[in-house]
Amino acid sequence: MKKILFQILILVPILSYASDIEQNMSYQIAGITYTEYGIHGNGEKCSVTYDEDNSFASTTCLSITNSKGIKILCTQKKKMCKTEQELLDFVSPSKIDNKSNNNIGVLEHWVNAHNTQDMNELKNLYSTEITYYGKKLLRTKCIKDKKRVFRKYPQFKIRTNNIQYISITPTITKITFDKYVKFSPDKKEKMYPSYLLVDLSSSSILVEGDTVTDTIKNEKTYITKKSDNTIKEQEQACNVGYAKECSNLGMIYGKGIGVKKNYLKALEFFNKACDGGDTDGCFYLGVFHTSGRGVKISYFNGAKFYKKACQEGHAMACSNLAVLYEGGLGVRQSYFNAKKFYGKACDGGNEMGCNAYSTLNRR
């Protein structure tokens, strides 16, 4: 058996890809070729292995920082490093020369189109098909939704801050930014951590979203759709201490799934869930308080609930709390704390936390 294993292990010379990464060896097991990379940072060493499709296979890296002070994204627990290119970009992140591409132009036109309610400009900006706040839509349906928003809020205005550009592929760029929305002159601005995915070859927007809206939509999966429990039965379970059922009920009323949407009832159940130790309940209390759902906007209260959820390991709550610290919303502005909670979010598998952590590290 040892002889057979030796025959399928094919060593290759060490090849230096970057100052912190070395290709240690390639080998085959059961006909599949694997490549192992050694990573060096701050005197530490570990390895990451990929299969022949550049898919993550395994790693011994638990927590390591490279020589540029960037926290590694590959961890044994979360398996966050998914491709060989992501590993290489960890040491030499793709940089975008904003003066030599259309990234700034796309974002500026997008903001201007919203502020002037120029539907033709929006139509020219969007791809034929677009992922629009978690839903795949044709451009015509996306434009129809924009018209609906502008009819409802005729003095709708937005502005952006904290803009970052992340190279996904040579032709695809992710633009992340804080979007400040003013629905009418007498209303306070609301801030949404937002992003656009832009195809540089056509200067068209492929994806538009913000983390608050995406989270609310995607978290429908928390509701046990296959359960035969009626809402009444779920309420009974909630009332006797099943915190997860309280959180599920908060989602049901918050989204109006099978019932009339009711933010006040959603808040009631999220409060019960949070008091009962359910981190999703605490997280959504943070979302509701920072977005003004059923209550006046209070970043202070939002930070309180995000912190409670984050302390129990809720990665998205850590990321949102970091955003508040970075912007000084409801808390004293602190880049130290922002970096700390982005790091916790990244350790919990939150991509936005990882990206923001790296950005703050480079300041």
Q: Mean pLDDT: which of 12-21, 39-48, 242-251 is highest?
A: 242-251
For residue 273, which phi and psi values (nearest 5 degrees)? Answer: -65, -45
Buried b (16+ CB within 10 A) or exposed e, 77-102: eeebbeebebbebbbebeebeeeebb
Q: What is the mean pLDDT of residues 333-350?
A: 88
Per the rule left: phi > 0, alpha: psi between -120 and 50, beta: everything else, 227 is beta
Residue among 209, 212, 276, 210 at smallest CA distance from 249: 276
Q: Is the pLDDT at 74 greater than 70, yes or no?
A: no
pLDDT computed for residue 362 by the predictor: 75
- pLDDT for 155 beyond 50: yes
Q: Which residue has the tokens 């999703």?
A: 280
Express each pLDDT in 259-268 by its tens digit: 888 999 999 9
Output the pLDDT for position 198.
Answer: 86
Rounded to whole angstroms, how far apart are CA atoms 363 and 358? 9
Q: By percentage, how much of the chain surpasses pLDDT 90?
A: 29
pLDDT mean over 57-76: 51
Task: Please state whether the predicted TM-score (pTM) of the whole model is above 0.85.
Answer: no
With a cut of 90, say whether residue 167 has pLDDT above it. no
Better-scored residue on pLDDT, 292 or 93: 292
> Is a pLDDT exceeding 60 seen at residue 325?
yes
The pLDDT tens digits for 98-131 are 433 455 688 989 999 999 999 999 999 998 888 8
Residues 6 or more apart whose Cβ sits within 8 Å of residue 133: 208, 209, 210, 213, 214, 217
Residue 274 is classified by DSSP as H
Supply the pLDDT for residue 360: 81
DSSP 273: H
